[in-house]
Amino acid sequence: MNKTLIVLLLSLIIPFTGFPQKQVPYKQVDTTRLFLEVYMPKDLNPLQKYPAIIFFFGGGWNGGSTAQFEPQARYFSERGLVSFLVDYRVKSRNNTSPFESLKDAKSAIRFIREHADEFHIDPTKIIASGGSAGGHLAAASATITDYNDPNDNLSVSCIPQALVLFNPVIDNGPGGYGYERIDEAYKSFSPLHNLKSGAPPTIFFLGTSDHLIPVETGKYYQKVMEQVNSRCDLHLYEDQKHGFFNYRNFEFYKDTLTKADQFLQSLGYLEETPVVKIE
């Protein structure tokens, strides 16, 4: 899409201030258009650059909805982040594989970074977040070098500066989630198998009764992150199952959101002492 046209679209549909959700097209594949849902800080200063947080929904790369992380996006926009909910191709709607999902996630981050000025964001302070398969997309955008859409501006990095992961799929190897669909490509697709020096600081939330992501996998991920001199704060929730962090489980939604807020404070992305109520 022509950059001048994108700037015009952004100027029409994203006000300098305002809380309501807006949509921006970031990619088109054949007849499929993919959108970002954008939440701007209420009292946005057009002369200021804000950190951004980008959410990828879960659903096993098969389905899911951007609505999953809408409460978190609204909260963080009130805290002063520009928040994005990313739609991406999934099997049920687009008859695609996990590889296309990852290509779309990388495209979205590149689009946001390339248009940082229009979104009023600091391109050096981009946080990727997601749950389950969406957590995989967030982590993989930071760790996986393959699966880039050739139509993207590949000179723009898709690597975020921080990760907020909710029971993420981080092991696609034999015995890990999705191996039957990924097969031997796990070697270039699985975040756990591609951790290296420079991996972004990460906060990782996991229930101890998660039937898809074993606790030992989470602990091993943290160990490997420490071995490559990267930070990984692992928070385990006793007896909680997959998806325990979603809004419908308000107690755990609130706790994970509070801890994510504190983690982002520690990185200098948020001011201390939140005055925004979690609701």
**pLDDT tens-place string over residues 193-237:** 999 999 999 999 999 999 999 999 999 999 999 999 999 999 999
Domain count, the chain: 1
Rounded Cα gap, residues 179 and 163, in angstroms? 23
The answer as to whether 273 is a domain residue is no
Rounded Cα gap, residues 113 and 138, in angstroms? 15
The answer as to whether 32 is a domain residue is yes
Q: Which residue has the higher pLDDT, 80 or 19?
A: 80
User: Residue 13 has what pLDDT?
Assistant: 40
**DSSP one-letter code for 273:** S
The answer as to whether 175 is a domain residue is yes
**pLDDT tens-place string over residues 66-116:** 999 999 999 999 999 999 999 999 999 999 999 999 999 999 999 999 999
Lowest mean per-residue pLDDT among 15-19, 32-36, 114-118, 211-215: 15-19
Look-up: residue for tokens 């002492």? 273
- Specify the CATH number for the domain of residue 109: 3.40.50.1820
Lowest mean per-residue pLDDT among 88-97, 232-241, 248-257, 267-276: 267-276
Look-up: residue for tokens 């000025």? 117
The answer as to whether 66 is a domain residue is yes
Lowest mean per-residue pLDDT among 2-16, 26-40, 174-188: 2-16
What are the residues facing 208 on neighbouring strands?
none
The answer, yes or no, to whether residue 275 has pLDDT greater than 70, is: no
The answer as to whether 277 is a domain residue is no
Cβ atoms of 104 and 151 closer than 8 Å? no
Residue-range definition of the domain harbouring residue 50 = 3-266
End-to-end Cα spacing for the chain? 38
Q: How would DSSP label each residue in 93-131?
A: HH---HHHHHHHHHHHHHHHHHTHHHHTEEEEEEEEEEE
Query: What Rg do the C-alpha atoms of the chain give, in angstroms?
Result: 17
The answer, yes or no, to whether residue 2 has pLDDT greater than 70, is: no
User: Residue 96 has what pLDDT?
Assistant: 97
Look-up: residue for tokens 């590889």? 99
The answer as to whether 35 is a domain residue is yes
The answer as to whether 255 is a domain residue is yes
Give the residue among 136, 118, 129 at the shortest CA–CA distance from 10. 118
Helix (H, G, I), strand (E, B) or coil at 152: coil
Rounded Cα gap, residues 173 and 227, in angstroms? 20
Cβ atoms of 73 and 39 closer than 8 Å? yes
The answer, yes or no, to whether residue 7 has pLDDT greater than 70, is: no
The answer as to whether 90 is a domain residue is yes
> How many residues would you count in the chain?
279
CB count, 10 Å around CB of 239?
A: 8
Rounded Cα gap, residues 30 and 161, in angstroms? 31
Rounded Cα gap, residues 274 and 92, in angstroms? 39
User: Residue 18 has what pLDDT?
Assistant: 40
User: Given phi > 0 = left and psi -120 to 50 = alpha, else beta, which region is 51?
Assistant: beta
